[in-house]
Amino acid sequence: MKRTIIRIDTDACNGCGACARACHEGAIGMRNGKAVLLREDYCDGLGDCLPACPTGAITFEEREAPAYNEAAVLENKRKLAAAAGAHPHAGGCPGSRMMQFRRNGAAPSAPAETPSGSALGQWPVQIKLVPIRAPFWEQADILIAADCTAYAYAGFHAKFMAGKTTVIGCPKLDQVDYAEKLTEILRQNSIASVTVVRMEVPCCGGLEHAARTAVAQSGKAIPFQVAVISTDGRILSE
């Protein structure tokens, strides 16, 4: 069948491995210092790997390829999760391995011990790294926060993060439009609400714009609110 699938330019690839870590289907791996498409039927064509690549070595193309095999992907994820349970560093970079944390006695899908007082409910948190489909999205109140907000506002965890699935980003530093990925997250999951927390600085407007665009493009009536933090740590509006 002809479908959209990724193409990796090995000449442009610098071997950083960011795409392999970003690919939550396990379609990309590293061989001889270069990224390679390990299995075409693992590639869903959604492109989580594209914004992760710093050299632009990954693109989309329309060509003959096996259909996306969700059952095989899930089985592969199950095997990797089982291996990771016995060996924390198995199955790729532990920094991007999906986890949920115990909060107020709730049973997560992947238990982990966390520092007292933290309101973080899942890992990863970077918009570029979070999977589009994950248990922590279902019926979730989502917090989309600018990186700097947690440093500027002292009570960030208690005020904004508690009870929410948190993702963070900085459009100026990442130099990427988050709207496409956020749209798919909202479209493919049952989201209860979206809260954006941004700084007062103009560049943070890109994060708010991406979130508003995602809600509009999702085709769903999702409650939406924005809080703005000043550079000296005050809540200017919410």
Beta carbons of 121 and 166 less than 8 angstroms apart: yes
98, two tokens: 């999906």
DSSP 19: H
Q: Tell me the C-alpha distance between 39 and 131, whole Å.
A: 19
Looking at residue 182, what is its pLDDT? 94
141, two tokens: 């109140």
Looking at residue 185, what is its pLDDT? 92
Domain map (residue ranges) of the chain:
1-97, 98-237
Looking at residue 103, what is its pLDDT? 55
Looking at residue 45, what is its pLDDT? 84
Q: Calculate the alpha carbon distances from 20 to 51, 91, 102, 174 in Å.
A: 12, 11, 28, 18
Element at 75 (helix H, strand E): helix 70-86
pLDDT tens-digit series, residues 93-148: 555 666 777 555 444 443 333 445 788 988 889 998 888 888 889 899 999 999 99
DSSP string, 148-212: THHHHSTTHIIIIITTSEEEEE-HHHH-S-THHHHHHHHHHS-EEEEEEEEESSGGGHHHHHHHH
pLDDT band at 50 (very low <50, low <70, confident <90, very high): confident
- What fold does the segment set 1-97 form as a domain? Alpha-Beta Plaits (3.30.70)
